[in-house]
Structures are given as structure tokens and as C-alpha cells.
């Protein structure tokens, strides 16, 4: 393989990981749904968050998987798992998990914003626009909505 082809292949393989660097979690917005968990479960979540912050996304995802199975309707757990998948470069997996956030019963405007962001990274602009409208209607996160709208308009 020639040097130029290797560089192109390397950049294609890095695209998902680079896309994940653009997403920053707002842990404070996750708190309401996390408060619904038991004390031992919150301990596992705190450990998973510590792992995410230290860059150990695979370990964090392993901790979150069992919690998500026991608490499938908890939007914050789904967001954390989606974020870990995104940081691992799994855009499709991050989107699948983020869609489950939309189905969760713990309502959270941040969940709509997060799904919009992950949808945009996956090229699903219609879903991004739909979720941005949910956030806009809530009257919250106006700055984040404007930023995501700018990203949506980029070619």
C-alpha cells in the first residue's frame, strides 16, 4: 500500500473517534434520572463516570451494560453508554443506544439534545432536527441548540 493510501485509510479509521471528541457530557443534566437508582447502582454509575473521565471507555461500558439491562428506561444510563460507545469510535452503536434514550420514561431535555447530536454525527439530519425542535420547545439549552443548528448547516 502506498504512503498516500495509508494516510487516507488512517484518516477514515480515525473519523469516528474524532467525531466523539466533539461531544462533551454535562454530568449535572444526568443527575435527575440517576437519582432514581438505588444507592448501590449509583455507586456503579459513579465508578463508570470515573472510568469515562479517565478514558477507560470499554470498562465503563461494561459496568453500564448490566445497569442498562436492569434499568432500561433510565435515560441517563443510556446517555452514558452511548457516550462510551462514541468514544470507542462506534458511531452506529452510539446512535442505537441514543435512540433508546428517546424511548426512556425518565424525561430529560438533555436526552433530546444528546440524541440530536449523535444523530447529526451519524448523518441522520431529520432525526437531529426533530430532537432539536423538542429541545427548542422546552425553552432550555438555547445556546446548545444554536450551536447544533450551526453544525447542522455545515456542508
The full set of domains in the chain, from first to last, is 20-153 (1.25.40.10)
Any alpha helices (H) in the chain, and if so which ranges? 3-20, 27-34, 39-53, 57-70, 75-87, 91-103, 109-121, 125-138, 142-153
DSSP string over 65-92: HHHHHH-TT-HHHHHHHHHHHHHTT-HH
The C-alpha R_g of the chain, in whole angstroms, comes to: 16
Work out the pLDDT band at 62, boundaries 50, 70, 90.
Answer: very high
30 and 80 Cβ atoms separated by less than 8 Å: yes
pTM: predicted TM-score of the whole model, two decimal places = 0.84
**Predicted confidence (pLDDT) at residue 114 exceeds the cutoff of 90:** yes
pLDDT at 29 over 60: yes
The pLDDT of residue 106 is 67
pLDDT, average across residues 16-42: 82
pLDDT given for residue 155 in this prediction:
72
Q: Which has more pLDDT, 126 or 18?
A: 126
**pLDDT greater than 80 at residue 105:** no
Identify the weakest region by mean pLDDT among 2-11, 46-55, 114-123, 125-134. Answer: 2-11
Q: Enter the C-alpha cell of residue 137.
A: 420547545
Please state the rounded mean pLDDT for residues 94-101.
Answer: 92
Average pLDDT value for the chain: 86
pLDDT at 154 over 90: no
Q: What burial letters (b/e) apply to 67-92, b meaning 16+ CB within 10 Å?
A: bbeebeebbbbbbbbbbbbbbbbbbe
Q: What is the DSSP letter of 140?
A: -
Amino acid at each position: 500500500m502506498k504512503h498516500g493510501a495509508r494516510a487516507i485509510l488512517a484518516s477514515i479509521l480515525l473519523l469516528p473517534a474524532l467525531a466523539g471528541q466533539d461531544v462533551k457530557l454535562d454530568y449535572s443534566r444526568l443527575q435527575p434520572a440517576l437519582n432514581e437508582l438505588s444507592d448501590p447502582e449509583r455507586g456503579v454509575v459513579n465508578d463508570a463516570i470515573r472510568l469515562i473521565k479517565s478514558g477507560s471507555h470499554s470498562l465503563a461500558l461494561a459496568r453500564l451494560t448490566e445497569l442498562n439491562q436492569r434499568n432500561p428506561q433510565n435515560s441517563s444510563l443510556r446517555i452514558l453508554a452511548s457516550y462510551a460507545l462514541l468514544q470507542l469510535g462506534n458511531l452506529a452503536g452510539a446512535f442505537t443506544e441514543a435512540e433508546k434514550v428517546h424511548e426512556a420514561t425518565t424525561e430529560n431535555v438533555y436526552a433530546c439534545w444528546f440524541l440530536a447530536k449523535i444523530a447529526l454525527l451519524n448523518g441522520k439530519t431529520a432525526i437531529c432536527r426533530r430532537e432539536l425542535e423538542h429541545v427548542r420547545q422546552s425553552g432550555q439549552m438555547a445556546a446548545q441548540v444554536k450551536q447544533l443548528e450551526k453544525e447542522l448547516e455545515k456542508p
